[in-house]
Amino acid sequence: MPQEKVAPIIDHKKYGEPSVFLPENLLREARRQKNLKNCDVPQICVLDPDGDLLRYLLGEGEAQMNNCWACYHSKLYTFQMDQVTVGIVPNIVGASYAVLVAEQLFVSGCTCLISVTSAGIINKPSIKKRFALITEAIRDEGTSYHYLPKEVPATLDELLYGLLRDPSKNALWFDAKSWTTDAPYRETSSSIREMQKRKVNCVEMEASALYAFAKAKNRKVICFAHLTNTMAQNEGDFEKGTHFGSVETLRLIRGILRKLSFLDPN
């Protein structure tokens, strides 16, 4: 009987073995080349995949470039919220890019990372809330398999969930299960039907990899989905609200910060 082939993405993985290539070493060289001082980014950082929130903050004169961020591939800005300095990195789309930036943020002073991404609706929620707290994500991308074995689910940390869980009617978010894909233009009818059967609420491109990274590296990562579309099946899709949803997203971030205000930053 021929031996069953194993996909290279899950073959020969040794999850306890450290990487030779380290984010802190890359940033060391970036600081040297860019002549940047060695200083920390804010402890609370936000990934803004669409870039709409940052554009709004810049337009309002509320965001400034951060010169402590040495990443080759992205820019980090800061803004103030309730006397807390928050970092924001725009246009971080896709699992591998999100985790690349997350790795570098956590060795640069970040202690809690919040991702707020746009998402397509798979099973329409019974409530009208537009923000979903992703508690589990289906691992249909490649990056997570470099951090966790295939049988381990990509889930929100239980401590963080306990702090963020809010069943009240006035809560800005609801608990949800997402499907993380790195091939959005292969969201076929059959794959959508399968995800509907698996009680998936939405589809996005980062959460499962970010949660796998967080679990493997013991980092605080929280993924939210802003339900904005039904995969453009009808004209007029992808509407996010006032200022492309930025006003509501700021309310969301303020609510998260209030829930986590007593977390030990270390």
Q: What is the pTM of this model?
A: 0.93
- What is the per-residue burial (b if ≥16 Cβ within 10 Å, else e) of 208-222? bbbbbbbbeeebbbb
pLDDT of residue 72: 96
Q: What is the mean pLDDT of residues 25-54?
A: 96
What's the CA dihedral at 6, 9, 11, 12 to 10 degrees?
170
Condensed to tens digits (0 to 9), the pLDDT of residues 184-215 reads 999 999 999 999 999 999 999 999 999 999 99
Residue 263 banded pLDDT, cuts 50, 70, 90 = very low
pLDDT of residue 126: 77
Q: Give me the residue label for tokens 């989905």.
A: 225
pLDDT at 234 over 80: no
CB distance 22 to 28 below 8 Å: no
pLDDT at 219 over 90: yes
pLDDT of residue 266: 44
Q: Give me the residue label for tokens 């965001």.
A: 63
pLDDT of residue 154: 98
pLDDT at 105 over 60: yes
pLDDT of residue 213: 98
Condensed to tens digits (0 to 9), the pLDDT of residues 115-134 reads 999 999 999 887 778 899 99
Residue of 204 and 167 predicted with greater confidence: 204
How many Å apart are CA 122 and CA 52, to the nearest integer? 23
Residue 89 banded pLDDT, cuts 50, 70, 90 = very high
How many Å apart are CA 77 and CA 70, to the nearest integer? 12
Residue 167 banded pLDDT, cuts 50, 70, 90 = confident
